[in-house]
Structure 1
């Protein structure tokens, strides 16, 4: 039986400013652009745009990342590539498809950010000794959902995002955070009660209880604070501290160089002139091509290992028969 906390939903709306269904009827694309067409193009090529009102970067609807889909290995290689982020995958089935809606928050090298991604099951694959699971494709245009989130750090709002999307993101450049300092107040609007209920059951399977879930109509809200699901094996306290120490140094350097400047144009020019290597890191904000290249290397190594294993087994069987 579904837990419908109507009064709780109203209180939640007052606290977060996000649950009110009226907010979901007027989703708009945020203000765009740095004021420098060349810089805007560089950012666009990376898969993002700049929102000057909130001073954040966010993903476009059709970035190159949309072709990359999702599998669990992505989360496993996040920490080794400098991203210390909490992830919360929610799995469910609806309309004959396997769905996965994932939530992320944390430190992505030089930026603090949050993400919501929608994916549907494509195929199952196995790399012996490395990975076995589903590879998901990014949601199609007819599978987009109106969704929004408020990202808070120690209770203070960093930014808000609200749009009909498959990958709703926001990244604040030069902001350093530990994932434990961040909370995401999340709202999603589903096309019907069947999909809403399937997602609610997925949240329960992930470890959420009914006291943590709020819904009104086809709107579902909850807070992503501490992860309820198992985190990647690459997230270890010692390595997290080392990587975060590096990330803090990057953020401190960025703040030191850009402190005298007020616009993103001037800040980026200062970084490019005074710290070219840091400038290249800035251009890799969020989940960059380097991140996916590492995943590709893991895949290639896995395939090579699989081929070697099969070849060795064939030779062994041949020798056994010959003997």
Structure 2
């Protein structure tokens, strides 16, 4: 009997080893795809976040991108804060809302020393470059949904983000408690001036040395014209349906790779949607191809 057991045990262990090796290869491929999209995964908080060297850093930022968000299933609140400091025009923008199948939030830092663009039929306005290494700032934010913390992010960055897959939210359910450490008093004062011009009251701005804090819940600034109540509702119902499908399939699994393996087996069409819709995707930045030849 022992000999028979040994005969069957060895092939079985080799089979298990092949299965484990195959799963490791699949997981490695999954994380490579995510990294190529400009993101990494935090298993502790179960969120995706933008990498320092993400390809999005080459795309800069302008109002066109905000206008393109809603048609690409991103129903998000935008809060651009403009100010001048150190011979540059600065844009520090906050975002929160539903990015397709993820609930997320962002803080982005952008600067320019150039003139505004005037491209007939394409864009009239300011194009900003993503902050250089020397212009990165230490930032932090907590994203809350109905007063419950979804996740926290902090670090010195040009684009601090977090996106939670399968979580569905209306932008109005979300609030960002954020802080930004400015370089010095002059920069802090310029940023505060920009906040006030955007509609923030002095009582809504917390100052601690050169650190400025605030709550971004209801936007103070004009939202993109593509944010229309009727179309927002339609897009959000699709986003909600996909999130519910994700939760239905993955509810019994704990790890992200196991969840994605379940999605690939049970709903392969959803697998592709997920990998192509984490955070801000390449589709959002397609207009850059029309803009870049006008940049000096």
**TM-score, normalised by the number of residues in structure 1:** 0.79
Separation (CA, whole Å) in 1 of partners of 2:153 and 2:168: 19
**1:144-293 alignment to 2 at 5 Å?**
144-284=136-276, 285-293=278-286
**1:19-168 alignment to 2 at 5 Å?**
36-121=27-112, 122-128=114-120, 130-168=122-160
Question: Conserved in 1, the CA contact under 8 Å of 2:182 and 2:211?
Answer: yes
Tell me whether 139-148 or 37-46 shows the greater mean CA deviation.
37-46
Unaligned runs of 5+ in 2: 1-25
Q: RMSD of the TM alignment (CA)?
A: 1.5
Separation (CA, whole Å) in 2 of partners of 1:65 and 1:276: 27
Offset of residue 296 of structure 1: 4.7
Separation (CA, whole Å) in 1 of partners of 2:259 and 2:71: 28
CA displacement, residues 256-305 of structure 1 (integer Å, 9 cap, x when unaligned): 11112111010011112222221112112111112222x358x48xx9xx
Separation (CA, whole Å) in 2 of partners of 1:206 and 1:64: 30
Equivalent position of 1:12 in the other structure: none
Look up the SS of the partner of 1:78 in the other structure: helix
CA displacement, residues 82-110 of structure 1 (integer Å, 9 cap, x when unaligned): 00000000000000000000000000000
Task: Pick closer, same or farther for the CA change 1:141–1:296 going to 2, 3 Å.
Answer: closer
Unaligned runs of 5+ in 1: 1-34, 304-323
Separation (CA, whole Å) in 2 of partners of 1:38 and 1:282: 14
Separation (CA, whole Å) in 2 of partners of 1:128 and 1:240: 28
Question: Conserved in 2, the CA contact under 8 Å of 1:123 and 1:136?
Answer: no
